[in-house]
Amino acid sequence: MSAPDTLRDGNASTRIADGLREAILRGEYLPGDRIIQEDLSARYGGSRIPVREALRQLESDGLVRLVANTGAWVASLSMAECSEVYQTRERLEPLLLRFSAEHLTTETLATLDRLAHQMEDAPGVEEFLELDRRFHFATYDSFHTHTLGPLVTRLWNTTQPYRRAYTTLVGSRNRRIFHDEHHMLVTALYDGDLELAEQILALHIRRTRLHLERHPELFDPTTPPH
Amino acid sequence: MSAPDTLRDGNASTRIADGLREAILRGEYLPGDRIIQEDLSARYGGSRIPVREALRQLESDGLVRLVANTGAWVASLSMAECSEVYQTRERLEPLLLRFSAEHLTTETLATLDRLAHQMEDAPGVEEFLELDRRFHFATYDSFHTHTLGPLVTRLWNTTQPYRRAYTTLVGSRNRRIFHDEHHMLVTALYDGDLELAEQILALHIRRTRLHLERHPELFDPTTPPH
DNA sequence: CTACACCAGATTGTATCCAATGTCACGAAA
DNA sequence: TTTCGTGACATTGGATACAATCTGGTGTAG
């Protein structure tokens, strides 16, 4: 999904921010991990100046927590905070889906169907997560948004570590209903029934949240003081 | 609402970001205005390093647009983009209202009622905008949120210049329905009817959007390439 | 044994300097 | 007159160096 650590944009801060974001999403850094500026300088090249700009960016993205004169940590969520993100998604993503579905092409629909089936055979956690993300974002990509798209991406990103932990924990048990919901969503989109598609998506997100809430042990026990 | 330009947080970047954010919200900078790093250094003190970090922060907040090796501008919205923000708010704020309303105190309700009445006598545009913001955020403040509150603040911030322009343009005409909606909201909260409160709020935001959409001349005519 | 003060090392925050890049005005050619 | 190239200037991007601050361990007093 992303180029290697070579130059890809004009400036170093963007490159570092992108690289670190991907690393966090890949699970290379875990919630609560300390981030040392110098380490990032060494890893991505360059001095600490662009590293610091990158950290500011990621802080606004909700992936990093900065404390003045003290340091940076990979953001962690309490269960209540994670639930909040999911409830937010439950309201936002159906809207984005509606915007996007109005411009869906036949090719995209075919892709969605293919992804939904591929997921059923996903061998491991990483493949499953990756395909799930690609599936949902494929339903959103047909509408170029200014606000909503980036917002939803952000919400996915901040909760990614917990989705990974949950998926790892429960293995491939109980995934049937998950796949069924995906197929139902594809069918509703085929039929052009946007109202139904919105409802299925909302329920899909809601059910996932309720499942996550059964595993408080995955989350940061304390709400950090901010 | 904010301290003057003196130190308020440990580091300069946060101070500069806060100062510039407030300045943009006050309308001191207009959408499309060029921002020169050196000017901010001079204005807020310090070198350009913390200024650049502040600009990255505000870029992630959607208030500033950065182009590599070229410069920074105060973000501007096309009408479609502004509408998108309002449609997003229409889905998000009722949820936040619901969360918050569960913890509303009698004092807060009294404050809301007072603010709603004060707004009717607001002498100028700035007072009106300020009171409107304080009213709505007072309905949200009873619930300490991790994601939703900051998100809503962000959406308010990015559209603030256009609310100001619209309010200035139409003067105090047609404000009656606006005030009525506020009073209806207060009443619904008094009655503890959250369902009704959510609906009133959604309609309030929706109607505002439709009014804004009658004035395309307020917005950036071109969707900037990003 | 615990609590606290203090100091050394580690890490972050910022200023200055220089390099890289883009902008804009000017002038020459079509 | 318009278009295109060119070069000086303005502005941004980044590296190094240093100052400020925090952390964690050690030793001392209670």
pLDDT in tens, A132-152: 999 999 999 998 899 999 999
Q: What is the mean pLDDT of residues B108-136?
A: 96
Mean of pLDDT over chain B: 92
Q: Is B97 on the interface with A (CB under 8 A)?
A: no
Q: Is B77 on the interface with A (CB under 8 A)?
A: yes
Phi, psi of A4 (to 5 degrees): -65, -170
Length of chain B: 226
- Residues from chain A that touch B78, judged by Cβ atoms under 8 A, are 146
Q: What is the mean pLDDT of residues A99-127?
A: 95
Q: What is the pLDDT of residues A33-67, one digit of tens each?
A: 999 999 999 999 999 999 999 999 999 999 999 99
Q: Is A171 on the interface with B (CB under 8 A)?
A: no
Q: Tell me the three state secondary structure of residue B72.
A: strand
Q: What is the pLDDT of residues A80-92, one digit of tens each?
A: 999 999 999 999 9
pLDDT of residue B69: 93
Phi, psi of B210 (to 5 degrees): -65, -35
Identity at B31, one-letter amino acid code: P
Q: Is B146 on the interface with A (CB under 8 A)?
A: yes
| Cα–Cα distance, B134 to B124 (Å, whole number) | 16
pLDDT of residue A199 exceeding 70: yes
pLDDT of residue A226: 39
E-strand stretches of A2-143: 34-35, 64-67, 71-74
| Cα–Cα distance, B220 to B223 (Å, whole number) | 7
Q: How much of chain B, in percent, has pLDDT values that exceed 70?
A: 94
Identity at B14, one-letter amino acid code: T
Phi, psi of A35 (to 5 degrees): -115, 120
pLDDT of residue A223: 45
pLDDT of residue A4: 30
Pure H helices in chain B: 12-26, 37-44, 48-60, 79-101, 106-120, 125-140, 148-170, 176-190, 194-212
The bases of strand D with some atom under 7 A from any protein CB are 11-17, 20-23
The residues of the protein lying within 7 Å (CB) of strand D read A 10-13, 45-50, 53, 69-70; B 10, 35-38, 48-49, 52, 66, 68-72
Q: Tell me the three state secondary structure of residue B19.
A: helix
pLDDT of residue B27: 96
**Do residue B57 and residue A61 have CB atoms under 8 angstroms apart?**
no
- Cβ atoms < 10 Å from Cβ of B33: 12
Beta-carbon-side half-sphere exposure of residue A101 (alpha carbons within 13 Å): 23
| Cα–Cα distance, B90 to B30 (Å, whole number) | 25
Mean of pLDDT over chain A: 92
CA distances from B66 to B48, B104, B141, B193, B222 (A): 15, 40, 32, 44, 17
Instruction: Tell me which chain B residue has its CA closest to the CA of residue A17.
Output: B56
CB A166 within 8 A of CB A211: yes
Q: How much of chain B, in percent, has pLDDT values that exceed 90?
A: 88
CA distance to partner chain B, nearest, from residue A67 (Å): 9
Q: What is the pLDDT of residues B168-188, one digit of tens each?
A: 999 888 899 999 999 999 999
- Nearest nucleic acid nucleotide to A69, CA to C1' distance: C12
Q: What is the mean pLDDT of residues B157-166?
A: 97
- Using only C-alpha atoms, what is the Rg of chain B? 18
Q: Which of B60, B69, B81 sits opposite A146 (nearest CB)?
A: B81
Distance B226 CA to C13 C1' (A): 32
| Cα–Cα distance, A49 to A37 (Å, whole number) | 9
Q: What is the mean pLDDT of residues A66-88?
A: 96
Question: Which domains does chain B carry?
Answer: 12-74 (1.10.10.10), 79-218 (1.20.120.530)
pLDDT of residue B22 exceeding 90: yes
Q: What is the mean pLDDT of residues B115-131?
A: 95
Token pair of B27 as six digits: 């309308």
Q: How confident is the model at residue A1 (pLDDT cuts 50, 70, 90)?
A: very low
Q: Among B137, B133, B113, B131, which residue's Cα sits nearest to residue B185?
A: B113
| Cα–Cα distance, B150 to B154 (Å, whole number) | 6
pLDDT of residue A8 exceeding 90: no
